[in-house]
């Protein structure tokens, strides 16, 4: 059985909710990542911040990233998966919620992240295509 812990990218780091977006961008650059899980004061997941969030929800709106915090952009119910979860659970969670990055938690601590690149390295082509279709499919109204 392949687990979330087997395919995750290790070394993920939190950005505390009180940190500013300019600091978040610096940390993303240092870690060479496009997303950071946001933690509350008790190191519990309260959201995920992406580089796109910083650009679209802060900079493009004329706000100062040195004054807006990661917590200001945390919205919705954060999703995560246990390190021991089977890969089918990982795919289901990501497909159901149409998300491209998933924090991995073990014993209530952040231990890694699963991204599209991680899936691409561990899934068969047909599995990856099915995942991408469900996550990227546009809904028609």
What DSSP state is assigned to residue 1? -
**pLDDT tens over the chain, length 141 residues:** 889 999 999 988 999 999 999 999 999 999 988 999 999 988 888 999 999 999 999 999 999 999 999 999 987 788 999 999 999 999 999 999 988 899 999 998 899 999 988 998 888 888 888 888 888 876 554
Q: Give the tokens for residue 136.
A: 């990227």
Predicted confidence at residue 138, as pLDDT, reads 64
User: For 67, left (φ over 0), alpha (ψ -120 to 50), or beta?
Assistant: alpha
Predicted confidence at residue 11, as pLDDT, reads 81
Q: What is the 3-state secondary structure (H, E, C) of 74-119?
A: CCCCCCCEECCCEHHHHHHHHHHHCCCCEEEEECCEEEEEECHHHH
Question: How many Å from the N-terminal Cα to the C-terminal Cα in the chain?
Answer: 39
Q: What is d(CA 7, CA 120) in angstroms, rounded to the nearest whole number?
A: 10
Q: Give the tokens for residue 141.
A: 């109204």
Q: Give the tokens for residue 46.
A: 């309260």
Helices (H) and strands (E) in the chain, counts: 7, 7
What DSSP state is assigned to residue 140? P
Assigned CATH for 4-136: 3.10.580.10
């Amino acid at each position: 059985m392949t687990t979330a812990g087997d395919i995750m990218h290790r070394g993920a780091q939190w950005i505390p909710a009180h940190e500013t977006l300019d600091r978040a961008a610096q940390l993303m650059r240092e870690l060479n990542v496009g997303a950071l899980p946001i933690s509350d004061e008790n190191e519990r997941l309260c959201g995920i911040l992406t580089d796109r969030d910083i650009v679209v929800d802060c900079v493009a709106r004329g706000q100062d990233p040195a004054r807006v915090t990661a917590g200001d952009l945390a919205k919705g119910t954060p999703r995560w998966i246990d390190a021991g979860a089977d890969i089918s659970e990982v795919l289901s969670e990501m497909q159901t919620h149409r998300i491209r990055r998933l924090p991995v938690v073990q014993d209530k601590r952040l231990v890694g992240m699963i991204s599209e690149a991680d899936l691409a390295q561990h899934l068969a082509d047909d599995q990856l295509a099915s995942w991408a279709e469900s996550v990227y499919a546009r809904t028609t109204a």
